[in-house]
Structure 1
């Protein structure tokens, strides 16, 4: 059984016969006239209802004319409605030539495989780590590529492979571990397409996006999905040691992101770059949770890398450990951290030196333990086992808190008041912040 657009009674051609009070003429001429009248009424009603359906259809679809020729508002800003599949095809055709595969032959691979100083292309491809990149600028015969810092980690030889298979030697202009961004430079010959930079702040949850990259070595691969959350804050381990020491703002997407997609393009359906694919949640039972660095956040970092080869940030000079982590490990390991116990004063036994435990005041459960003070912190007087609990009066519960305050609230050359405990006594000092010379584990 099929159902119409309306209930049957609404457009039925059934018409009640008029009751005649006079004597009915049963002759054939009368019969023909009655049948003809009924037929005309039914026909007119059918035509009228059909016309009504047509008018409603036209009104819903924005008028007549050739299908697709009349644009109608469908998205914020009056963007024209086009078939989604055609928009995906158009956007991917626009951006694909600007997306490259990144080949990283690491120093470790060079040493392990004994490849020498000048390995050939075959050796590089067989021993390299793979990633993706996006050509975002071309000037003075050189092309510049965005990728992730982790894609070129420990790189000895880096190459960029274009969509047509051309392979170009790449030079690292600069990288920033904190934001996981890097810029490469290649010869611009044969490169005609540069990606259009979009606006990630205008993305909407649920908006369709396309990920383009080199997953598992399958270059020029496309996946599509939606923006699951346009502003997700996730904790990351900058040193890849399992300790979360930074928080990053990312775009959460459900487009398939696999190994090798890192550094690739996340584009909207206009073919504009809105993010750099950077990571995914890889765990049993987890599907469709990937992350991209918003392009609005990336552009100032890329500008700094282009100009200076690095991102200048204030430097304190600390190697540290979270107090909370230390207390948890002490409970698990049965460590005696009683400051009055002589075994915690430090001693040498059988050629091994027992490190003195920090003195933790009653009620102090969070902060950071100084493992080593260098540079500005050493000059200011911080020492091993000091417990830092506040910066400029702001409570600091972890290394992540320290780094966020340092990078987001302080500038190079400023002084910072440090509140800490030494041997159980609360003290303060000032650290004069300098520029961080190179990427390292300390803050």
Structure 2
């Protein structure tokens, strides 16, 4: 039998037909039939050659195209793409670090006599990721998320080699969720090459590198689902949306600890900072990264000033729609910024209730959008705004929420400029001008000046 267990493909045949003694096949040339057969074969071959020549002439001598290979956008083959992923990860991995955040509470729980090996992370610590993006004057600078280092008493950066370095927070910005850390640059060779997030395309393959769940130097891949997704965020996780962030939506796995890590393209260039994911039952493959083009102006200002200077109006507000819906808990924000002050004592809280009760807003018929002033301080107080006023417009921009108020201030105005405020008081419409000042910065040692009643 041959290679196939089938009579049709058998390489053997009987020399005689069943039931006869006469041979079925005879060798060529054994008689006149063999000569005739040779003539027929030669004739057929000649005809085939002629047809092939005519076909070639009619088609201009074009060569047959090579067989198609599986390819991705840009013409890369799958093998080539795999090699690019390997090359890109090798290029950027040494620039990605693990961030250890030790709060005062964590330090109190930490055994002072415990000795940790290089790369070992205390159980009491919280973890994140960061990217080395600059070296200068004996220092190396690391991008991470603000929430990764928030409330930190001590911060450490762990290199890919396992070496730990004490890190200093140069500056952080809660609104954009970005922070810059500083470490000594000894033994640090790799610096991430910055890419261009504006040139990303939906469907483009990207790589996320970070420290998920404490597994440092972890790599996942995915695609860009949407390079300019606008999502609402709650900066203090209280359920009230404080800001809107433009992000890159990706389907690469983003898990706790990945925050602050690198999102890179297949050239190994940094195009985003991994920031968050949708954490809900049954939701998979929806992660977000801050575009590097949006991050760099913030990072440069943090490096230069240690903070982001933003205009300050000086009002605590709640959405008018929330008030009309009968919700009694205020949004508790100043210019839309979260009130992170220390707890208010009972006497002060009682005083706030008296203020709110004595300044009940009067809502005119047909007015449904705006913000209710819960307290005016600083520039707003100096300009004459009062508790219970309903702000409906800033300059020529209608204001329907605290979020809209903050967006207009931060995106449309500068420190020192005058702001025209249109509002209702006692049901009557009026206007006034507020001169914007620089927003005071929060510190861990004292309450936010804006939150002091």
Query: Could you say which TM-score interval applies, normalised by the shorter chain?
Result: 0.7 to 0.9
Distance in 1, matches of 2:53 and 2:156, equals 70
Please state how far the C-alpha of 1:285 moved relative to its aligned partner.
1.6
Please state how far the C-alpha of 1:317 moved relative to its aligned partner.
1.2
**For the structure 1 residues 121 and 159, does the alpha-carbon distance in structure 2 shift closer, same or farther, using more than 3 Å as the test?**
farther
Equivalent residues of 1:131, 1:262 under 8 A apart: yes
Counterpart among 185, 192, 204 of residue 195 in structure 1 = 192
Please state how far the C-alpha of 1:32 moved relative to its aligned partner.
3.8
Runs of 4+ residues over 6 Å off in structure 1: 45-49, 78-82
- Determine the structure 2 residue equivalent to 1:157: 154
1:389 aligns with 2:396: no
Distance in 1, matches of 2:103 and 2:202, equals 38
**For the structure 1 residues 120 and 304, does the alpha-carbon distance in structure 2 shift closer, same or farther, using more than 3 Å as the test?**
farther
Distance in 2, matches of 1:364 and 1:28, equals 107
**For the structure 1 residues 74 and 254, does the alpha-carbon distance in structure 2 shift closer, same or farther, using more than 3 Å as the test?**
closer
- Determine the structure 1 residue equivalent to 2:404: 401
Distance in 1, matches of 2:51 and 2:221, equals 46
| Equivalences for residues 162-241 of structure 1 within 5 A | 162-241=159-238
- Determine the structure 1 residue equivalent to 2:66: 58
Please state how far the C-alpha of 1:60 moved relative to its aligned partner.
6.2
Equivalent residues of 1:74, 1:81 under 8 A apart: no
Distance in 2, matches of 1:121 and 1:180, equals 30
What are structure 1's unaligned runs of at least 5 residues? Answer: 1-25, 62-71, 333-347
Segment of structure 1 superposing worse, 258-267 or 237-246: 237-246
**3-state SS, counterpart of residue 182 of structure 1:** strand
Distance in 2, matches of 1:241 and 1:270, equals 39
Distance in 1, matches of 2:382 and 2:258, equals 44
**3-state SS, counterpart of residue 56 of structure 1:** coil
1:90 aligns with 2:93: no
Please state how far the C-alpha of 1:290 moved relative to its aligned partner.
0.7
- Determine the structure 1 residue equivalent to 2:317: 320
Counterpart among 429, 432, 436 of residue 432 in structure 2 = 429
Equivalent residues of 2:101, 2:125 under 8 A apart: yes
Distance in 2, matches of 1:108 and 1:437, equals 27
1:360 aligns with 2:367: no
- Determine the structure 1 residue equivalent to 2:33: 28
Please state how far the C-alpha of 1:33 moved relative to its aligned partner.
2.6
With the length of structure 2 as denominator, give the TM-score of the two structures: 0.78
Equivalent residues of 1:136, 1:146 under 8 A apart: yes
Q: String of CA shifts for 1:342-399, please: whole Å, max 9, x gaps.
A: xxxxxx9xx9966413222222211111122111111112122211111013210001
Distance in 2, matches of 1:422 and 1:124, equals 57
What are structure 2's unaligned runs of at least 5 residues? Answer: 1-30, 330-346, 443-447
